[in-house]
Amino acid sequence: MTDLNTLKYSEEHEWVALDGTTATIGITDFAADALGDIVFVELPEVGAEFRRGDVFGEAESTKSVSELYAPVTGTVVEINDAVVDDPALLNSSPFGDAWLIKVEVADGALDGLLDRDAYVAHTEA
């Protein structure tokens, strides 16, 4: 189980785990619960470049569509095919198996993101 306190969060409900210069990005359990059962995920190609705040993909549930906003600026180096094949992973394991993309980032990429306490406070606001 990922220690949720080691992650950074965006107000748009993405999480980021940084290892060296590689950021792993997913959506939070709060986002997954709000969407309901997720049945389709669209992710970018490896090599795609994003700035923080850009739309990098979509998650669709039975009821609604949600755009995925890049929480960091960088270049996609890996996408999680497992979650494309089985979007329900986003509901069952949003912080684990259902990471979405890995992005190569520059120093300071996490500046301005929320820590766990601030994110939880944001979702309860």
Partner 1 sequence: MTEPRYTPLRARHEALGASFTDFGGWQMPVRYTSDLAEHHAVRQAAGVFDISHMAEFTVRGGAAAEYLDYALAGRLSAMSIGKAKYSLLLSEDGGIIDDVIVYRLQADDFLIISNAGNRDAVREALTARVGEVEGDVAVADVSDDYALIAVQGPKAAEIVASIEGIDDVSVPWDEQKYYAWASAVYRGKPLLLARTGYTGEDGFELLVDAADAADLWDAALAAGTEHGLVPAGLAARDTLRLEAGMPLYGNELSRETVPAQAGLGRVVVSDKERFVGKAALADGATGTGTQAGRTLIGLSAEGRRAGRAGYPVVLEDGTVVGEITSGALSPTLGHPIAMAYVNPSHAEEGADLFLDVRGTKIPATRTALPFYRRKK
Residue 104 near residue 77, CB atoms below 8 Å: yes
Q: Other CB atoms closer than 10 Å to residue 79's CB: what's the count?
A: 20
Q: Is 82 in the site for partner 1 (CB under 8 A)?
A: no
Q: Is 51 in the site for partner 1 (CB under 8 A)?
A: no
d(CA 95, CA 26): 7
Q: How far is the CB of 42 from partner 1 (least distance, A)?
A: 8
Which part of the chain contacts partner 1 (CB under 8 A), choosing from 8-16, 37-45, 94-102, 115-123? 37-45
Q: CB-based burial of residue 18 (10 Å sphere; 0-12 exposed, 13-18 middle, 19+ buried)? A: middle
Q: How far is the CB of 67 from partner 1 (least distance, A)?
A: 9
Q: Is 80 in the site for partner 1 (CB under 8 A)?
A: no
Q: Is 33 in the site for partner 1 (CB under 8 A)?
A: yes
d(CA 90, CA 114): 21
42 vs 49, beta carbon nearer partner 1: 42
Q: Is 93 in the site for partner 1 (CB under 8 A)?
A: no
With b for 16 or more beta-carbon neighbours within 10 A and e for fewer, the 90-124 pattern comes to bbebbbeebbbbbbbbeeebbeebbeeeebeeeee
Q: Is 91 in the site for partner 1 (CB under 8 A)?
A: yes
65 vs 82, beta carbon nearer partner 1: 65
Q: How far is the CB of 62 from partner 1 (least distance, A)?
A: 5
